[in-house]
Structure 1
Amino acid sequence: MATSSTSGTTYSIAHALTGHGGAVRAIADVHGTVVTGAMDATVLCWDVVSSAPKQSIYEHSHWVTAIVPLDAAHEAILLSEGFATGGMDTHVRIFTRSDGLYTCVAVLKGHSSGVISLSWLQNPTTPQLLSGSWDGTCRGWDIASQTCRFVLPDHENGVCVLGLPNGVIATGSTGKQQGNQVVDARIRMWHAVSPTEYALTRTLSDHQGPVRQLVQVDAIGFASCSNDGSIKLRAADDGAVLVTCQHPLNHEGKPGFVLGLAYLPQSQHLVSASEDSTARVWSLDGTCVQTIDHPSGLWCVSALANGDFATGAEDKSVRVFSYRTPRNDALETALATQVAEAHVQAARGPSAVEVESLPPYDMRASQVGKSDGMVQMFRRDNVAWACQWSAVSGTWLDIGQVTGTGSGGVVDGEAYDMVIPVEIETPSGVKKLEIGYNQGQNPFTVAQAFIDKHLLNPSYLKEIADYISDRSANYQPPILGDRSTSASGAPAVSPAPVASPYFPLRTYATFDSAKIAKLLATVEQFNTLHPVLEGTDLAQLGALITTLQQTSYYHSSTITKSQVATVWKLLDKWPPTHAFPALDLVRLMLVHPMGATHITDTTAVLRHAFARDAADATRFLAIRVLVNWAPHAPTKLVAQIDAVASGIHSSWPPTASWSKPLALSVATLWMNATLALSTGRDDEHSAAAKIVSTQLAELLGGNLDEEALGRVLVAIGSLVRHVPFGGVESMDMVWIRQWRFPRLSRPSRQVYCAAKSRHFRRLRPFTPSCRTYWLCWTNPEVVAWSKRGVNRSLECTKALCFSLTTVPSLGPSRDITCCHMQHGWRRQWRPPRLFKRVGMIEQSDGAPFRSLSL
């Protein structure tokens, strides 16, 4: 790790805190407890000594971007220590400690966009909390009454705030887009006219980029940092610049954005956090006394009470640096290794092909972002340049140059881990082509897709697959033959985990189709039975339905809080027998980019779902609300797994009597839950994983059509392969129970499965000689059947069989045997008796079944 110091005080890494599922955006020291907020919408309270979280808080529905400890006056008023948070859900929350845990005691609402900065303002009576937001305002809050006392308006987009000891308020803005640059990033000084009124007394425009943070500097005034790479030390009364610290220029002659700043009173140093992956320690005369490299860009830095400081990074980590503790060689070595690997990755840079395929930077104004916060790359001076869409200003805000997209580049506009050049001899000459490959993909699958794309001779398959395997050094193709010998006669190696087209699940499924036109009529009809909405309410509802119908305008249309409140009136007042139109509206609102910002609580949804007299439509639409909610609030979905499972068990009939829409909805919910679980930590999500596995087991005995069965299999495979805590062992294989043969309606489109055992045998070679396949877990077995080709569900079953062989917890004695047979079709078909021993029907001649795309 590159770290250098020119002063007597040298900081070294003392602790590395990992556990967030997103980039760390905010850090605060609350009486010795490090509290962090991240882009996974969680707050973690850390025991720094053990580097483990003491508490996880899931109150937020969007990124947590600001944290500040309660001041002494409010601790006395609230009789507890605590902290305040701000997030992109537009709210400020107050947390206090009770029985050793922090709980939310107040939610301050008033901002119309994300809250990105918090500070305390001292006054003669009670300190007030300042909040800065992307809505262009600073608000002053009275915590005791939970009211907004004043608003400082008319800032340029995002606002950072600071209350100074002399009662002056300093605010900074991120500026506005004008042509190809950001202009009018300003610092404003506000003086009190009355307790609830502040006058603007001075405006400063000495930063050439967005102002990102303001921090108090004892006995001097305050300091500001900016995207222009500078830190300016200022006088408290008028904000005049006393000293400027300038980040060094990169190879393009530009400084890194300085996104965070902290003042260390014990050592009298400033520490800056930059997107160039460095934390820099500055003396108050403007000299950089130490540079500490990180493996990824930094979002924030915070001073700790003991003189240390902590950084929050894009790589989801918090690192604590200290000058008091002895050097930790293990942590230093680990950090140095991470930094070196990051430098190698960054040095490769985006390929010329990739950059050329990007839209021009000068034309970005003609493109509209699909949602607030969307990141888009543009071509600027022959480099890839990232910008973020601001829905408030309707402009693209600069993030910075893209330094790499993996070790390879782009093929046909899609980025890959590796781009492998290949030359193919054809009758017309030698073709020079490129193969895009991601680590973990099956080389045979990639090779076959490459052959199909370029209409090449199928005989090239093995040669191309072997070439891909040789070039991807860390990849080993699956050995589907007998473990004792490989196909070539060479000693076989254990198969490495390989990619499956079905799992682990990587994207959330949603229900986004609807007959919206009929919704308003249905609501009006039910409103005559249960009068809840009046004329203005119906007008709000009509406007909402119009917005939801116009899907092509989702990038620019809005959903208002009053429209959401109107729908919630229906959920609160209508009985479960008639609530399904309202639930359908909630489901559709979650498809709209703005819908999730207004829907943060699903209590009413769960109440209708598990009411004893709920209609079937109410049940499956309530579950579909949770399905569509999952991409926006995965941590909250995980927190509700137990409640949902308990409600299903206590309030619903057995799974065998469920309607197919209900079974499909629940299968999709548990499938999404496995993806949400995959981002968690062992200690918190293992219990939830067991609950999900139990629910999946019960679903297998239900009324499943082919699509629902496929989703159940994907969920099982994802739980085995992707959930990081114990895999199969965490499930205790509770889903390996008897799978019932459903009624034979359309046999050519069904998959039949049966399972009775937790024991597995070896995966053996088999070559399909017909279009009907049998797969069995023996002792006793699992049988899966499909007629006239392999459909999606059977492919999922095959992939699941192979997936289990790649899970280390199974061990060498718990593998799988795959068999196949040809079975004649009869009009009155009955499942044959299950296999009683391994290899009862087995074909060993020929090459292994390479088309298993696992």
Structure 2
Amino acid sequence: MAAAPYKLSSQLAGHSADVRSVSTCATATGHHLILSASRDATARIWLRRAGQRDFTPAAELSGHDGFVNASAFLQDPSGSIVALTAGQDRIVHGFEVQATGDGVKASAAPDYAMIGHEDNVCTLDVGPRGSYIVSGSWDKTAKVWREFQCVATLKGHQQAVWAVVAVDEDRILTASADKTIRLWSIATPDRPLATFTGHSDAVRGLVLLDGGASFASCGNDGTINLYSLASLQPGSSSGGGSGGSSIPPLQTLSGHTSFVYSLATVPGGRGELISSGEDRSARIWRDGEAAQTITIPAISVWSVAALPDGDVVCGSSDSFVRVFSRDARRQAEAAELQAYEHTIASQALNKTQVGDVRKDDLPGPEALAQPGAKEGQTKMVRNGDVVEAHQWSTASGSWVKIGEVVGGVGSGQKKLHEGKEYDYVFDVDIADGVPPLKLPYNLSENPYAAAQRFLEANELSSEYVEQVVQFIDKNTEGVNIGATSSYVDPYTGASRYTGGGGGGGGAGAAAPPAFSAPTTGGQYTGGNNVDPFTSSAQPSRAATQGVLPQRAFLTFATTNLAAVKEKLRQFNGEESTQLSQDELDAVDRVAAAVQQKQTSGRLDVGPLQKALAAWKPASRLPVFDLFRCAVAHPVTADAVDVARTAFEASEWSQDWPAAGSPEVKAREVNSMLALRAIANLWNNPEALGDLSANGISILGSLKDTHFARLNKNGRVAYASVVYNATAQMVGSTSRSPAAALTVEMINEVLQHEAGESEVVYRALVALGNLLYSTSSGSLPVGALQSAKNLMRKWAGSSSVGSEERIKAICAEIQSL
């Protein structure tokens, strides 16, 4: 008898970014749990009480700095449960979970931390009866943990380890971006027992099949391979160990149209397999054939798992966890099912998801009268001017509309380079007869950083950095806002950008604007219109050949929050005026809100202001760093109060310390952070009114002071404040009383800048904005003429003036 088809049971909303991993378990009290891990830096536990249909939120697990990419439940024979998570911070965390008759309770903070990996940890599994934990990482290794201590490291893969599976008490399978799968013994971890081949691209998922005598794998080649373990008894090294032959698959399953990321088995004795991937689907396989395709309204279905009752759980790129059931008692109500089907049908599919589309060659809707050849088959038809995609459902014996095909920007698929994911991996030809070099690039990445990394990796001169950036811009058709150096932690040196000579000071600058025309095929909104170093929105512009005017604000919103919190607590213990535990808890809430980009409510910056006022200058650095990130959001202090705090904490009105004195370093960094805090105020919509009304007071405190003494990053921040002020003036229909003061500040920059082109460029864009604004008629003639004379001086400079962006902005201003 054919199994009933899966239908939606529930949609679990709570995460704010991709759900990269889902895991399941049942408690001794009969409850079912889902553990989801997300790129929003959290994991969540969801509870379905015994006999009920719906899942409810049970716990939010925090403690990671960065994406959480892997999850698993550790259960021992006594029934105790530990929720395991791992991610970008290279740590595996364990949270104790207590199950009761009413529900579950989980620790608010990690109870266990397993440290040892050297790169992103992307996969977890647990041995039989909770006997051990195994983790896999981009550092090319897998590690085995007993009692939360590392007992073995499995080395041998040439690229990232994307998947691990515990076979039995001693043996482990690992899958890698090097296209191989290896079987290991914990007792003898020095070399693999066997090597399995058959994939033509990175292997992303593994699952042990019913009975444990075989397993399945999936990968970026779009296939699922089935292998036998029957001939490989524990302790055997036959069939593919070091120097042995590789083992091919017994069978290959095809049906997915893109990368396949995850696998799971369905309980119930039918031998069913679940897979999910980059083609918006989870698929049920039975007897080597696709039995059902479950369409998800998200491009990437990162992870699948099965509950003990056979329900299927999916985590996807739209931040949802979804549960599907065959049992009508656990399926959603008819209205919700209809709404879900409508959501699927109304999805806009990028043509890269379904292949090249020639509309004129497509049949009309009458083609849907012909039955499909197999489950999941996709057919496109032309319905008027719309291209519709339909998928064949064997269960219903009909074609189901899964979306409408549109054009778009981007590749639609992630690429792998040295085992890591990128949006693009370009081939760069450097000479005839020489193999091309690989240039990996993510749309959320600064092109200058990618270019510098490429040059350093291939031992090429940094003189080529502009050419590489232009190559990236051309081939991604992006709207970029340039870059110099990334953030440098002023007290730990973490995240240091080593390319191109950075300028003094301890913290990097916002990326330099290199405004270019938007593409005609639509704008990529997943990352390429956000400055990846500063998280600032791209200055918007009309579809013209010019740059001006620019209305979007630049912000400095990226920092190493883990280092900030650690140093802040350290310094708190050393200062005579200390923050209380309640105040430290408030600081942690601010840091969490900044990390999660919270948009609701006001952040309480009172404790930060207290520390900035009372602590020694050198101890203020981590406080200042968190403060300047916080004020880019609505906060409990108004704009004038924020600016006053920044000026006083940086000792802005006081004489500059004597050259060579120990106070200079702290003064440089505090001044830079004060300027970044003020620049960030323009990103806070609640502050815009104060900034407009009190512009003279705030900007007046900056004029004619220490610009020439600031390090490069401080000068970039100063120019960003000036630019943001003019961006607000461009967007206003009334004249700004601070316009005259602003042009004097532009002159301060252009007259005293030592030669950093980014500083000059921002000041020139600010000048152009002023001339475009309604305040242009109120600008003092003398100061305006001085600004234009200084502009011409920089345009004639043999260094800065030779840059194309400087030439372009000067020419545009000259034409106004």
| TM-score category (smaller protein) | 0.5 to 0.7
Quick one: which of 126, 129, 151 aligns to 1:120? Answer: 126
Query: How far has the Cα of 1:502 moved from its partner?
Result: 1.2
Residues 85-234 of structure 1 mapped to structure 2, 5 A cutoff = 85-97=85-97, 100-102=105-107, 103-122=109-128, 127-143=131-147, 146-159=148-161, 160-165=163-168, 167=169, 169-176=171-178, 185-190=179-184, 200-219=192-211, 221-234=214-227
C-alpha contact (below 8 Å) 2:612/2:620 kept by paired residues: no
CA contact (8 A) 1:670 1:715 kept: no
What is the CA–CA distance in structure 2 between the aligned matches of 1:186 and 1:222, rounded to whole Å? 14
Residue 171 of structure 1 deviates from its aligned partner by: 1.5
The counterpart of 1:366, out of the listed 418, 437, 449, is 437
**1:247 correspondence with 2:298:** no
Paired amino acid for 1:653: A
1:401-412 aligned within 5 A: 412=474
Displacement of 1:29: 2.0
**For residue 331 of structure 1, what is the amino acid of its counterpart?**
Y
Partner Cα distance (1:151, 1:664) in 2: 39
> Which residue of the partner structure matches residue 629 of structure 2?
672
Distance 2:614 2:276 in 1: 56
Corresponding residue of 1:715: 680
2:126 match: secondary structure: strand
Match for 1:187: what amino acid? I
Q: Give, in whole Å, the separation in 2 of the partners of 1:66 and 1:704.
A: 46
- How big is each residue's C-alpha offset from its partner over 1:504-525, in whole Å with a ceiling of 9 and x where there is no partner? x4x6467xxxxxxxxxxxxxxx
Q: Could you tell me which residue of structure 2 aligns to residue 500 of structure 1?
A: 551
Deviation per CA, 1:135-184: give whole Å up to 9, x if none.
Answer: 333332212xx32233333233233322235x4524233253xxxxxxxx
Q: 1:607 aligns with which of 570, 573, 577?
A: 570
Q: 5+ unaligned residues in a row in structure 2: which ranges?
A: 27-31, 99-103, 233-247, 354-403, 412-422, 460-470, 481-515, 530-536, 579-586, 654-670, 708-717, 722-730, 750-761, 767-773, 784-812
In 1, are the aligned partners of 2:204 and 2:217 still within 8 Å (CA)?
Answer: yes
Q: CA deviation at 1:69?
A: 0.5
Determine if contact 1:150/1:197 at 8 Å carries over to the other structure. yes
**Cα contact 2:479–2:518 (8 A) shared by 1:** no
| Alpha-carbon distance between aligned partners in 1 of 2:545 and 2:83, rounded to the nearest angstrom | 55
Deviations 1:374-416 (A, max 9, x none): 8999xxxxxxxx99x999x999xxxxxxxxxxxxx99855625
Match of 2:343 in 1: 334
Aligned partner letter, 2:545: F
Structure 1 distance, partners of 2:249, 2:347, is: 37
Equivalent-residue separation in structure 2 for 1:349 and 1:745 (angstroms)? 42
Tell whether the 8 Å contact from 1:37 to 1:65 is kept in structure 2 after alignment: yes
Distance 1:168 1:233, change over 3 A: farther
- 2-side partners of 1:667 and 1:84: how far apart? 34
Length, aligned pairs only: 554
Closer/same/farther in 2, CA of residues 161 and 350 from structure 1, 3 Å limit: closer
Structure 2 CA distance for aligned equivalents of residues 17 and 247 of structure 1: 28
Aligned position for 1:696:
642
Indicate conservation of the 8 Å contact 2:426/2:438, yes or no.
no
What TM-score comes out, normalization by structure 1 length?
0.51
Q: Is residue 634 from structure 1 mapped to residue 598 from structure 2 by the alignment?
A: no
Check the 8 A contact 1:663/1:708 in 2, yes or no: no
Select 2:285's aligned residue among 282, 285, 301.
282
Q: Report the CA distance shift for 1:736/1:375 in structure 2 as closer, same or farther (over 3 A).
A: closer
The residue that corresponds to 2:19 in the other structure is 24
For 1:461-610, list aligned pairs within 5 A: 500-502=551-553, 505=555, 508=557, 602-608=565-571
Q: How far does the alpha carbon of each residue in 1:202-240 deviate from its partner, in whole angstroms, 9 at most, with x for none?
A: 332233332222212223633222223222334443478
- 1:468-511, Cα deviation, whole Å (9 max, x unpaired): xxxxxxxxxxxxxxxxxxxxxxxxxxxxxxx83315x4x6467x
Q: Is the 8 A contact 1:132 1:138 kept in 2?
A: yes
Which of 8, 12, 35 is residue 13 of structure 1 equivalent to? 8
Instruction: Give the corresponding residue for 1:646.
Output: 607
Q: Is the 8 A contact 2:428 2:436 kept in 1?
A: no
Q: Tell me, yes or no, if the aligned pair for 2:427 and 2:439 is still in contact at 8 Å.
A: no
What SS does the aligned partner of 1:207 have?
coil
Question: For 2:693 and 2:97, how far apart are their aligned partners in 1?
Answer: 44
- Residue 59 of structure 1 aligns with which residue? 63
- Return the offset for 1:449: 6.4
CA 1:268–1:653: 2 relative to 1, 3 Å: same
Q: Once the two structures are aligned, what percentage of the paired residues are identical?
A: 19
Please report the TM-score for the alignment, with normalisation by the length of structure 2: 0.53
Q: CA deviation at 1:197?
A: 6.4
Q: Aligned letter for 1:347?
A: G
Which of 541, 555, 558 in structure 2 is aligned with 1:446?
A: 541
Q: Runs of 5+ in structure 1 lacking a partner?
A: 1-5, 177-184, 249-254, 378-385, 396-408, 419-432, 453-460, 466-498, 511-589, 591-595, 616-625, 678-685, 721-726, 754-762, 768-772, 776-782, 801-816, 827-850
Query: Is the partner of 1:208 in helix, strand or coil?
Result: coil
Aligned counterparts of 2:679 and 2:224: Cα–Cα separation in 1: 51
Verify the 8 A CA contact 1:224 1:233 in the aligned structure 2: yes
Letter in 2 for 1:69: F
Query: For residues 108 and 663 of structure 1, do their structure 2 counterparts lie closer, same or farther at Cα, with a shift above 3 Å needed?
Result: closer
Closer, same or farther in 2 for the Cα pair 1:672/1:434, shift >3 Å? closer
CA shift in 2, pair 1:340/1:747, >3 Å: same
Q: Secondary structure at the match of 2:218?
A: strand
Q: 1:412 to 1:93 in 2, by over 3 A?
A: closer
Does the 8 Å CA contact 1:667/1:711 hold for their aligned counterparts? no
2:407 counterpart (347, 351, 356): 347
**1:612–1:168 Cα change, 3 Å:** closer
- Using the TM superposition, give the Cα deviation of residue 290 of structure 1 relative to its aligned residue in structure 2, in angstroms: 2.2
Q: Equivalents in 1 of 2:2, 2:440: separation in Å?
A: 46
Report if aligned partners of 2:518, 2:543 keep a CA contact under 8 Å in 1: no
Aligned-partner residue type, residue 101 of structure 1: A
C-alpha deviations, 1:724-767, integer Å up to 9, x for none? xxx68xx999999999679879569999x9xxxxxxxxx98446
Q: Deviations over 1:89-147 (max 9, x none)?
A: 33222211268233411112233333332222238xx712222333333332212xx32
| Closer, same or farther: CA 331–613 of 1 in aligned 2, 3 Å | same
Q: Is 1:71 paired with 2:64? A: no
Match of 1:491 in 2: none
Specify whether residues 34 and 161 from structure 1 end up closer, same or farther in structure 2 by C-alpha distance, changes over 3 A only: same
Q: 2: CA distance between counterparts of 1:363 and 1:673? A: 50
Q: Deviations over 1:746-793 (max 9, x none)?
A: 569999x9xxxxxxxxx98446xxxxx516xxxxxxx99545476899
Per the alignment, residue 297 of structure 1 pairs with 300
Q: Tell me the C-alpha RMSD between the 2 structures.
A: 6.1
1:265 aligns with 2:252: no
Letter in 2 for 1:218: D
Corresponding residue SS for 1:104: coil
Alpha-carbon distance, 1:83 to partner: 1.6
Pairing 1:728-767 to 2, within 5 Å after superposition? 746=703, 765-766=733-734
8 Å contact kept, 1:710–1:792? no
* Compared CA separation, residues 70 and 737, structure 1 to 2 (3 A): farther
Q: Distance in 2 between matches of 1:303 and 1:234?
A: 21
CA–CA distance in structure 2, aligned partners of residues 375 and 443 of structure 1: 13
Is 2:144–2:153's contact at 8 Å kept on the other side of the alignment?
A: yes
- Give the corresponding residue for 2:44: 44
Amino acid in the other structure paired with 1:450: Q
